[in-house]
Amino acid sequence: MQLAHTLLLGFALSSPVSAMFTCGNENATLFPPPPIDRNQLGMRRRQIYLLPPPIELIVHVVARSKRRQDGYLSDEDIHRQVQVIKDSFAPAGITFNHTKNHWIVTKAWSFETPGSQDWVDMQSLLHEGDQRTLNLYFVPWKNATKGGFCTLPWSMGGPLDGCVIKSNTVPGGGHSYWSQGKAAVHEIGHWLGLAHTFEVRDPENPCDPTDPDDGVIDTPKFDYHHYTQEMKGTCHLDLNTCPHLEGKDPVHNYMSYVSDECATEFTRGQVVRMYEMWAKYRAILPENEWEKTVEGS
């Protein structure tokens, strides 16, 4: 599996600030395609966006034993996690149809190295549905540095499409700063075509106003070099790391790297982008009867 096609959410544990964020594809391959040409989608002046239908959601729990510390999640754990996902995407008009939970207890896969055969084997075996189906895999990822990773809508279809999430980031799962289930929300944002709010093409110039970064105009730029180890797990509401640019740092954004207590929003631009990415890459259009008008901004 090519990690260039996935996004990793993670913090390095014991590293200099520059390595605080460990993203599996920090270079150009990760960058989102530009916003879609609306004519291509038959959008008129009043901009009709296709709202995704209720997204079919299948949860796979892959545990090494039936014990919690080995990644096992109960019905109730899954229910609470899915509720956080639903609540977080509801303001964006994106809903989920949670149809199935699937448990597999095995020691066959260790999942230690991203991109190893373990991931490919697991996803190939368990994946269900097509590009419209969201497969979430909760795994006991022993390495503490990552919260999860996800395929992007334009990067990979087939059985490797989906999101892998560290089991202990579910609500009450015991993770020290991702403890409210927002890691899954962040990952699903990637699955729906969002990049991190701090993506930049030139890491030396994170505040370059000409950098198209995440392809969304209303997420202010954020110089992640200022985001230090001490800030992990806290809410820093007044960060303004690109002071000469408009807007403070998007510390409440699900697609930033903030603690779960801070992460509470997608911007309007991100919502529009998710609709566009759905329409272009995931929808099977003739079957798609859901439409929503979004006022042009």
Residues annotated catalytic, as ranges: 187
- Verify binding: residue 186, ligand NAG, rule CB under 6 A: no
- Which of 131, 145, 264, 288 is the binder for ligand NAG (CB under 6 A)? 145
* Residue partners of 282: CB distance under 8 A and separation at least 6: 52, 131, 132, 153
**Which residue of 69, 143, 176, 228 would you call a contact of ligand NAG, by CB under 6 A?**
143
- Residue 74 binds to ligand NAG (criterion: CB under 6 A): no
Q: Of 140 and 250, which has the nearer Cβ to ligand NAG? A: 140
Q: According to DSSP H, which parts of the chain are helical?
A: 75-89, 117-126, 182-191, 268-277
Told to check if 189 binds ligand NAG by CB under 6 A, we report no
Q: Does 193 bind ligand NAG (CB under 6 A)?
A: no
What does the DSSP assignment read for 219-277? S----GGG--GGGTTS--TT--SSTTSSS---TTBTTS---TTT--B--HHHHHHHHHH
- Answer yes or no: are the C-beta atoms of 183 and 165 closer than 8 Å: yes
Nearest approach in angstroms of CB 178 to ligand NAG is: 15
Least Å distance, CB 95 to ligand NAG, is 8
Among 42, 54, 157, 247, binds ligand NAG (CB under 6 A): 54
Site mask for ligand NAG (CB under 6 A), range 96-135, x = bound: -x-x------------xxx---------------------
Distance separating alpha carbons of residues 35 and 3, to the nearest angstrom: 23
223-240 exposure pattern, b = at least 16 Cβ within 10 A, e = fewer: bbeebeeebebeeeeebe
Candidate segments 39-47, 139-147, 152-160, 284-292, binder of ligand NAG by CB under 6 A: 139-147
Contact, 105 vs 139, CB < 8 A?
Answer: no
Please report, as ranges, the residues that interact with ligand NAG according to CB under 6 A.
25-27, 54, 56, 97, 99, 112-114, 143, 145-146
